[in-house]
Amino acid sequence: MAVDSRTRQEVHMFLTAIDKNPPIMNLNQYADINRRLISSTLTSMATYLVMLMQFRSTLMRNAALAAKRSAMNLNRTATDATA
């Protein structure tokens, strides 16, 4: 996708302005909020969500295996009772 030189210059100036003027915020002198804090928070949240999804998939797989074993035991018990 081709971008004309004016758009490229606008994007470059925007990125330069963001780089030269970082957001400065603090929580009542408790902590500074900066890009590093935001990126580390987002990284931690993403890692936590991946762990939750893996945990959930493990639980679902184990539940499916337990249900399958239970069904097999019921079938085996029913077969033994009729024999």
Q: pLDDT tens digit string along 54-76?
A: 999 999 999 999 999 888 887 77
Residue ranges per structural domain of the chain: 29-83
**CA quadruple 56, 59, 63, 64: dihedral positive or negative?**
positive
Tokens linked to 31: 């902590």
pLDDT tens digit sequence for 11-49:
999 999 988 887 778 888 888 888 888 889 999 999 999
Q: Please tell me the predicted confidence (pLDDT) of residue 29.
A: 84
